[in-house]
């Protein structure tokens, strides 16, 4: 699959999971969906950091933006960790809203800025190779 389509597919999957989580009928379903969301976000981070961002971070035209995006990945990771420290049931919704806001901000930056710039900066062959590497990284993480 084409690189940008592949990344957008990740974003769509995560968006859908947030929607389902917000409407989850019980704690069991909610916990199951949350585990899926967490794995999805962690795999996205690992795969993207090591391939797409690694290729872009060496290009001076975009390296600052990529630095920011990498920091956002760390912020998302930290927000995910905070779920483990939560004890009250009531705080789940608040924590989830915070995570969603951070993820949506990050996705917006990618889709509205980074992808456009990357299309200019990377050749089609590079983008193709990155897409392959990213898929391979995700498969490794899933197994
Ligand atoms: Fe990302």
In angstroms, what is the span from residue 107 Cα to ligand 1's centroid?
A: 7
In angstroms, what is the span from residue 52 Cα to ligand 1's centroid?
A: 9
In angstroms, what is the span from residue 132 Cα to ligand 1's centroid?
A: 17
pLDDT value of residue 138: 86
* Euclidean distance between CA atoms 70 and 44, whole angstroms: 12
pLDDT in tens, 62-77: 999 999 999 999 999 9
In angstroms, what is the span from residue 95 Cα to ligand 1's centroid?
A: 20
pLDDT value of residue 67: 97
- How large is the greatest C-alpha to C-alpha distance in the chain, in angstroms? 50
pLDDT in tens, 114-125: 999 999 999 999
Kindly tell me the number of DSSP H helices and DSSP E strands found in the chain. Answer: 7, 0
In angstroms, what is the span from residue 109 Cα to ligand 1's centroid?
A: 9
In angstroms, what is the span from residue 85 Cα to ligand 1's centroid?
A: 24
The confidence band for 85, taking pLDDT boundaries of 50, 70 and 90, is confident
pLDDT in tens, 9-65: 999 999 999 999 998 888 899 999 999 999 999 999 999 999 999 999 999 999 999
In angstroms, what is the span from residue 73 Cα to ligand 1's centroid?
A: 6
In angstroms, what is the span from residue 69 Cα to ligand 1's centroid?
A: 7
pLDDT value of residue 133: 95
pLDDT value of residue 89: 62
Mean pLDDT of 120-131: 96
pLDDT value of residue 90: 64
- Above 80 in pLDDT, residue 88? no
């Amino acid at each position: 699959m084409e690189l940008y389509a592949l990344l957008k597919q990740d974003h769509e999957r995560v968006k859908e999971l947030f929607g389902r989580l917000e409407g989850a009928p019980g704690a069991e379903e909610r916990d199951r969906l949350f585990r899926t969301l967490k794995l999805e976000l962690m795999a996205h981070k690992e795969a993207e950091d090591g391939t797409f961002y690694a290729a872009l971070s060496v290009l001076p035209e975009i390296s600052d933006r990529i630095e920011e995006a990498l920091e956002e990945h760390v912020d998302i990771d930290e927000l995910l960790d905070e779920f483990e420290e939560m004890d009250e049931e009531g705080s789940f919704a608040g924590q989830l809203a915070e995570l969603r806001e951070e993820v949506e901000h990050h996705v917006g930056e990618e889709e509205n800025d980074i992808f456009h710039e990357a299309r200019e900066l990377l050749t089609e062959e590079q983008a193709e190779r990155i897409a392959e590497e990213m898929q391979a990284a995700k498969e490794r993480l899933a197994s």
